[in-house]
Amino acid sequence: MGKIQAAEAMVKILEDEGVKVIFGIPGAGILPFYSALHKSGKIRHYLARHEEGASHAADGYARSTGRVGICAGTSGPAGTNMVTGLYAAQVDSIPIIAITGQAVTAQLGKEAFQAVDIAEIVKPITKRSYCVTVADDLPCITREAFRIAREGRPGPVLIDLPLDVQRREIEYDPAADASLKIIKPVPDKQKIRQAVEMVLAAERPLLLLGGGVIGADACDEFLALAEYLAVPVVTSLMGKGGIAADHPLYAGQVGTSCNTIFGNKVFLDSDLVLGIGCRFSDRHTGALDVYTRGRKFIQIDIEPTQIGRIFPPDLGIVADAGLALEALKATARELTSPRTPAERVTDIPEQRAQCQRRLDFDQVPIKPQRIFKEINEFFDEDTVFVTCIGLNQIWSSQFQRVFKPRHYLLPGGAGPLGWDLPAAIGAKVAHPDKTVVNIVGDYGMGFCGEEMAMAVMYQVPIIVIIINNGYLSLIRQQEKYVYNMNYEVNTWYGEGLVDFIKFAETYGAYGQRVELPEEIRPALQRAIDANCPSIIEVIVDRETDASMGASLDKIVEYEPLPEMVAVGRL
C-alpha cells in the first residue's frame, strides 16, 4: 500500500473494470483526473467537441457492447451539457458513468466560477449521483458506481469530483481492491411454472422481445424458448434485432409508428402475450384499451417498479431476463415435449413477406422508401445501424431488416436529435471491424454535427446517410393532419439548401449528394471504398408521410399496400 492522488486511484480502478475508451473534453476543473489518465497505457481518450456528444458516444459504445460507457468533462457547463445524454441512457437502461470536475470543496454552495451542483441536478435521470467530498471515499464510490450502473435495470451514474479531492493523496492498494459482485434476481419457481402453463393453455400465444432481453444478452435463450414452444415472436422497437429478420418465428414489430403490418396483426390476433424486458411504453402500445383487449399478459422485468406500471398484467415476475428464460425453458421441458408448430406459425414467413410495405419506388425526387431497399440489399448482416428521432427513424424501423442484437441502435425513450452521430462514433470505436451506418434527417444532422470532427480526427470511418427532405418532417406530418398548417418546419431557405457536401469537406470527411434512385448503391460503395468518415446526402420527395396511428388497429397507410391487405385478408 502506498499514497497516490485520488484521481490516480480512480483511473487504476477504471483500468481494472475493463475500461478501454473514454469520450470527453478536458478542462481546468478535471485536469488532475486527465493527468492520471495521461499516465494510463490501457485507456484511450477520444476528444469530443461538445460534452453532450461525449455522453452520446459513451452511450453508443455501451449499447453496442454491453459494457459500461465512460464520458468525462470539466466543472459547470460540462455536466449540464451531459444532462440529455444521461436522460437518454436512463430511460433506455444503458450503463454509462459520467465523470465531471468541480470547484474546490471550500467553494461549494458559494456560486463560484463553474460551480454548479450537478450531482443534485441529475438525480432524477441517473441511478445514482455523487459529489465526492472525502478523497478516501473515491475508490469505493468508483467501484460502487460500476456495480450500480450494471446491476438490476442498468443505467447511468454521475461522479462529481471537486478539484482538491482529485489532487488529495490517499492510501490505496490495487491488489486489495476488486470489482463488486453483481446480483441478479432469480425468478419465483411457482410463477415460472404458472407462466408456462398459461402459454400452453392459450390458443394464440405470443412472445414479446423487449430491449431488456438484448440488455441481458439473453436473445439466444429467448429464441430457444420460442422454438421449443413453437410460439410466434414480435419485438418492441428497442427489441429490434433481438431475433433475425428472416427467422421463421419472427412476425414483426409492434407499435403505433415503429411497426410492421404483420407484427401488429399477429399481436392483435393473440390471446396471450408473454413480454420480457419491455416497458409497454406509449409508442409501443398506443391506446391501451385496444392493446390489452381480449388478451392476457405475463410481464417479466428485472425492475420491480416496471411490473404493472402501465397496466396490471395477469402475472408479473421480477427476474433477470436470462435467468427467467432459462427457468422457463427448463419448466417447459418438464411440462411438454417440443411442440409442433400450428398452421398460424408455419405460415409466418409467407405472410410476413406478403405484408411488407412497398420499397421499390423509381420516381424522382427519390421516395425515402427506396433508400431502405438499397440499404437492405447492400449491407451485410454484421452492419451496425444507428438512427434517431424523426421520420427517418420511423421509416428505418419499419423498413430495415436487422439480424443481430446490438446491431440496431437508437434512443427509444428520450429521442434527442443529434444522439445518432456521436453514438455511431462510439459504436465504431467499439467495433472497428464492422461497418457502422448512421441514418439521419437533414434537420437532425444539425444537432451534434460538430462531432464529425472527432470522427475525422481519429479516423473513425462511419457512414452517415442524410435523408434530406428539407423539413422537420415528423412535425410537418403532425401539423398537416392534426393542425392543418405548415408552420416553421421548412429547413430549406433562400434558393437552395444546406450544403452537406461542403459540411463534410469542411471537417475533412468525404461527401456525396444523390438525386437519382440508381445513384444510391454506387454512392454506398464509394463510401465503403473511401474507408473514412463520410456523408451521403440523399435528396428525397418532400411530402412523403410515414405510416402511423393512435392505436394498433388504426394505423394509417399513406402508400399502396401489399395485395394481401388490399383484398381484405388482414
Q: pLDDT tens, 285-314? A: 999 999 999 999 999 999 999 999 999 999
Confidence of residue 498 (pLDDT cuts 50, 70, 90): confident
For residue range 437-449, what is the model confidence (pLDDT) as tens digits? 999 999 999 999 9
DSSP 34: H
pLDDT digits (tens, 9 = 90+) for 408-422: 999 998 989 999 999
167 and 24: one domain?
yes
What mean pLDDT value characterizes the chain? 95
Percent of the chain with pLDDT over 90: 93
**pLDDT band for position 570 (cuts 50, 70, 90):** very low
3-state secondary structure 80-105: HHCHHHHHHHHHCCCCEEEEEEECCH
* CATH code, 396: 3.40.50.970
In a domain, 564, yes or no: no
**Is 194 found in the same domain as 145?**
no
Please tell me whether residues 241 and 270 are part of one structural domain. yes
pLDDT-based confidence at 492, cuts 50/70/90? confident
- Do 146 and 78 share a domain, yes or no? yes
| Residue 385 in domain | yes
> Is the per-residue pLDDT at 563 higher than 90?
no
pLDDT tens for 367-384 read: 999 999 999 999 999 999
Q: CA angle, corner 190, sides to 184 and 196, nearest 5?
A: 95
In what helix (H) or strand (E) does residue 170 lie, and over which residues does it extend? strand 169-172
The span from the first CA to the last CA of the chain, in angstroms, equals 71
- Report yes or no on 182 lying in a domain: no
Asked whether the predicted pLDDT for residue 405 surpasses 90, the reply is yes
**365 upstream amide cis, omega within 30 of 0:** yes
- Beta-bridge partner residues of 386: 409, 438
Beta bridge partners of 548: 556
| Distance (Å, whole) CA 279 – CA 306 | 7
Number of domains in the chain: 3
The residue out of 145, 176, 207 marking a domain boundary is 176
Say how far apart CA 264 and CA 291 lie, in whole Å.
Answer: 10
Q: Mark which of 353, 384, 409 sits at the end of a domain.
A: 353
Q: How much is the pLDDT for 266?
A: 97
Q: Is there a contact between 442 and 498 (Cβ–Cβ < 8 Å)?
A: yes
pLDDT digits (tens, 9 = 90+) for 33-80: 999 999 998 999 999 999 999 999 999 999 999 999 999 999 999 999
- pLDDT tens figures, 309-352: 999 999 999 999 999 999 999 999 999 999 999 999 999 999 99
Confidence of residue 495 (pLDDT cuts 50, 70, 90): low
Length in residues, the chain? 570
Report the distance separating Cα 429 and Cα 22, nearest Å: 11
Residues 31 and 113 in one domain: yes
pLDDT tens-digit map of 1-15: 579 999 999 999 999
Identify residue 19 by its one-letter amino acid code.
V
234 in the same domain as 268: yes
Same structural domain for residues 363 and 274?
no
| Within a domain: 559 | no
Tell me the residue ranges of DSSP E strands in 398-494. 408-409, 436-441, 463-468
In this structure, are residues 123 and 85 in contact, taking their beta carbons and an 8 Å threshold?
Answer: no
The answer on 199 and 134 residing in a single domain is: no
Do residues 557 and 292 lie in contact, with contact meaning Cβ atoms separated by under 8 Å? no
- Would 556 be classed as within a structural domain? no
Give 208's DSSP letter.
Answer: E
Tell me if 64 is assigned to some domain: yes
Indicate if 391 and 501 belong to the same structural domain.
yes
Query: Domain check: are 257 and 304 in the same one?
Result: yes
- pLDDT at position 562 is 67
One domain, residues 98 and 215: no
CA-based nearest residue to 512, from 536, 477, 482: 536
Q: What range does the domain containing 388 cover?
A: 358-539
Residue partners of 38: CB distance under 8 A and separation at least 6 = none
Between vectors from CA 375 to CA 381 and to CA 404, what angle results, nearest 5°?
Answer: 25
Tens of pLDDT, residues 223-274: 999 999 999 999 999 999 999 999 999 999 999 999 999 999 999 999 999 9
Of the three residues 333, 353, 373, the one that is the final residue of a domain is 353
Helix and strand element counts for the chain (H, E): 25, 20
Whether 183 maps to a domain, the answer reads: no
CATH number of the structural domain spanning residue 288: 3.40.50.1220
The answer to whether residues 345 and 375 belong to one domain is: no
Question: Does residue 184 fall inside a structural domain?
Answer: no
